[in-house]
Structure 1
Amino acid sequence: MTRSTIVRSAVLAATTALTAAALAVPAQADGHHRVFADSLPSVTPRAETPALHDDDEGGNADADDPAIWRNAAAPDRSLVVATAKEGGLRVYDLDARPVQSIAAPPAAGEDDAPGRFNNVDLVHGLRLSSGKADLAVTSDRGNDRLSFYRIDRDRAGGPLSDVTDPAAPPVFSQDQAEINDQRTAYGLATWTDRTTGKSYALVSRRERTSIALLELLPAAGGKVTYRKVRALDLPSSFRLPDGTSWSPCAEPGELPQVEGMVVDPANGMLYAGQEDIGVWRMRADLTGTPKLIDKVREYGVPGVYDEETEECTPGADPGFGGTRISSDVEGLTLLTEPDGDGYVLASSQGDNTFAAYDRELEDANEYEGGFRVAAADDTLDGSEECDGAAVLNAPLGSKYPNGLLVVQDGHDAPGDGDRDSTNFKFVDLAEVMDALDD
């Protein structure tokens, strides 16, 4: 996690008692009662990837965000592509075994500064100068750029090959000095507009509220580049019902950032998790007015930042927050169903749960329930402080005939001494559907 995430975690720890007390308060205007995390149904993983370790000895790798690529010709040979931050990209088979490891490009302009892949998503059938291809797209936080990898399942040397145009521009930064400040490309969601066939990436900015829309374009030699279409800034301060103005407590200069994002291709709507605020819905072309469909429980809680401890001291909870998710709200993914129904799933990192919202706009994205990913046994634990998630409701051969949910585990157990351990858990989607149907 980033230092800002650690700061926010301190706020969460300090506000746990306040939040628990608020749970006894009568339901807010939306008519829903507050949901206790331990009352939600549990699902258990079938497999997990090897642990990654965020230190020099472990390659400074930190599991973060997954994407599921389905091999239409041989679903049993589908892949999970995942970011490991300074560890680059990891590719796994459906048994959660490593298939390929790709280093992140070193950050330009700083001696020995590592690269850092933050989020990943997929684009299917993008037309390149060398023909159509499926791509894994990553946000390269170290260089404020996107990186592109062509997926060829049986390619010698591994299924992913770099097809990034070396001339691809920075997403947000005007010069190298800005890139060095690391307020760079962060969250990521891809989208293909069904009316035009054009493919895009939506990219958020670290420690800022900005989201940029980039059109993905072919470049010479089978490479991929992009151009910025427009950008949008979400609010950083909010008017509360009592008439006061509120911003979440953070390190000076930091604004409430967005990371988890997903686009519903059926209606072109983007769902974005502003970590300390809640879940937004907006047009994926970034026109129109964003709508906050749910708030985190800590919304409206005042706080004072202490420079010595680099932590926030929270004040009393005024009770203006939501009832179902706790900051940080991070990994967002879309669970589609053949009949057009389905869910937007959001990782409620603060209480180790996942919230499900109806994807139908006519239902105003109503909350439909939630679940936890709990330990299967003494050797296969669940998911805590989940950063990223990906779901695919399609048969994946004999291993996952009902589809697959992959979630990041921010605290893999058993741990390895003093080293932080993270990895990814693989969950049979049938379990998730059963939990949401309860």
Structure 2
Amino acid sequence: MKKTILSTLPLLALAACASAETEAPIAVRIANASPAVSVTARGETTPVGTANADAADDPAIWRNAANPAQSLIVGTDKKAGLYVYGLDGKTRSFLDAGRVNNVDLRDGVTIGGKPGILVVASDRNDVANAKLALFSLDPATAKLTARGKVDGGKGEAYGVCLYRASDAVYAFIVLKDGTIHQVALDASGATATGRTVRTMKLGTQAEGCAVDDRTGILYVAEEDVGLWRFDARANGSTAPVKIAAADGKNIVMDAEGVAIAPVGDRDGYVIVSSQGDNAYAVYRLTDDSYVGRFRIIDGAIGGAEETDGIDLMLGDFGPAYPGGIFVAQDGHNAAAAQNFKLVAWDDIAKALNLTR
């Protein structure tokens, strides 16, 4: 969800005027928040096609193991459809899919009888009836092919993330009211099918989510409340456990996109977009402890502000991103339409002094 930023009035006057009913200006929010280190982007995508609107939203990364520099990024224009970008930021393809909000993918999924790259987007073309829109991604042509839609429940589709378990591939679809449905997906036949296996609930508006396939843990951002984790297993508990509050310190409302950096068998980090002050908060997976915060500031390439969706993948992505890549939606891309900024994980790790 995009916020309007006010920054033209003197800080003290704005601070005095701020109330519980009025969102504090960006200068006040930054002053009250925990310190954040700075990094700069090494790349950016071409802007989405919808201009003068809050349109770009969420990215998903596919790594080309055979040729990492030829990896791809899928990004949503939530007013129009799905883009596929190369790591050079250039648009490789666009598919008119209508109002798709968030996106995730998994490689090696059986699609139409053979292994492929499954891409799933939260489809809110009908705001009263959520859908999961399924696609296959051809890595050679960078084109998406629609594979059908499955029911995501009553309400407006918002967030989505995938979970590859031993028994199935699941999608978690986060509805705007905080309802979360876990849907078992089957794309092996001519038409994709899905079956809701259980439902979880947060109290207010939620969107960003990510699943750690190693540990079977689902992470969800409740925008004005904070970051939660759930047991992602289909037979697991539906009770949420709070990791961090959106209290204006480490996470400044809104808590938005969520991404995971897995390290080893169980360790690593979960990152959440602190949209309220243009930052990203980092927590350790093993004990939920706070690690630090960073911002993407202007450099040779512009910074990122008001970030909705994020994605992160470690590993070799070629000379520009040898240790991994972090992709963040930029909600204020100067005079152009919104786009996505590409940051080297090595730069983030160095800035935060992450040793592992």
* Offset of residue 288 of structure 1: 4.0
Match of 2:187 among 212, 218, 226: 218
* Offset of residue 88 of structure 1: 0.4
Closer/same/farther in 2, CA of residues 383 and 124 from structure 1, 3 Å limit:
same
CA distance in 2, matches of 1:142, 1:215: 22
Question: Which digits, 9 at most, give the CA deviation of each residue in 1:357-405, with x for residues without a partner?
Answer: 0001xx2x0101111111113xx21010100111111101223212111
Matched, 1:171 2:141: no
Considering fraction of residues, name the structure with more strand: 2
The one-letter amino acid paired with 2:262 is T
Closer/same/farther in 2, CA of residues 19 and 77 from structure 1, 3 Å limit:
closer
Name 1:153's counterpart in structure 2. Answer: 139
Matched, 1:296 2:246: yes
The one-letter amino acid paired with 1:228 is T
Closer/same/farther in 2, CA of residues 11 and 128 from structure 1, 3 Å limit:
farther
Question: Which digits, 9 at most, give the CA deviation of each residue in 1:171-223, with x for residues without a partner?
Answer: 112xxxxxxxxx32210110011xx24110001112x12000000113532x4
Match of 1:76 among 64, 69, 75: 69
Closer/same/farther in 2, CA of residues 22 and 91 from structure 1, 3 Å limit:
closer
The within-5 A match list for 1:409-428 is: 409-413=330-334, 415-416=335-336, 421-428=337-344
**Structure 1: runs of 5 or more not aligned:** 24-33, 105-114, 174-182, 236-255, 299-322
Give the conservation status (yes or no) of the 8 Å contact 1:75–1:397.
Answer: yes
Name 1:248's counterpart in structure 2. Answer: none
The one-letter amino acid paired with 1:172 is G
Name 1:227's counterpart in structure 2. Answer: 195
Name 2:57's counterpart in structure 1. Answer: 64
Question: Which digits, 9 at most, give the CA deviation of each residue in 1:55-81, with x for residues without a partner?
Answer: 5xx7x7811000110112221211000
The within-5 A match list for 1:19-418 is: 35-36=33-34, 39-52=35-48, 54-55=50-51, 62-104=55-97, 115-143=98-126, 144-155=130-141, 158-164=142-148, 168-173=149-154, 183-193=155-165, 196-206=166-176, 208-218=177-187, 220-221=189-190, 223-235=191-203, 256-285=204-233, 287-297=237-247, 323-338=249-264, 340-360=266-286, 363=287, 365-377=288-300, 380-413=301-334, 415-416=335-336
Question: Which digits, 9 at most, give the CA deviation of each residue in 1:87-120, with x for residues without a partner?
Answer: 200110011111001111xxxxxxxxxx301000
Give the conservation status (yes or no) of the 8 Å contact 1:410–1:422.
Answer: yes
Q: Secondary structure at the match of 1:434?
A: helix
Name 2:8's counterpart in structure 1. Answer: none
CA distance in 1, matches of 2:325, 2:252: 25
Closer/same/farther in 2, CA of residues 399 and 231 from structure 1, 3 Å limit:
same
Give the conservation status (yes or no) of the 8 Å contact 2:100–2:125.
Answer: yes
* Offset of residue 264 of structure 1: 1.3
* Offset of residue 154 of structure 1: 1.4
Closer/same/farther in 2, CA of residues 146 and 373 from structure 1, 3 Å limit:
same
Give the conservation status (yes or no) of the 8 Å contact 1:94–1:399.
Answer: no
Closer/same/farther in 2, CA of residues 48 and 283 from structure 1, 3 Å limit:
same
* Offset of residue 169 of structure 1: 4.0
Q: Secondary structure at the match of 1:382?
A: coil
Coordinate RMSD, CA, aligned: 2.6
Question: Which digits, 9 at most, give the CA deviation of each residue in 1:13-45, with x for residues without a partner?
Answer: 93437995998xxxxxxxxxx744xx3110100
Work out which of the two has the higher radius of gyration on C-alpha atoms and give 1 or 2: 1
**TM-score, normalising length from structure 2?**
0.87
Q: Secondary structure at the match of 1:271?
A: strand
CA distance in 1, matches of 2:28, 2:237: 38
**TM-score, normalising length from structure 1?**
0.71
**Structure 2: runs of 5 or more not aligned:** 6-17
Count of aligned pairs between the two proteins: 337
Q: Secondary structure at the match of 2:351?
A: helix
Sequence identity percentage: 35
Give the conservation status (yes or no) of the 8 Å contact 1:138–1:188.
Answer: yes
CA distance in 1, matches of 2:341, 2:327: 6
Give the conservation status (yes or no) of the 8 Å contact 2:26–2:276.
Answer: no
Q: Secondary structure at the match of 2:340?
A: strand
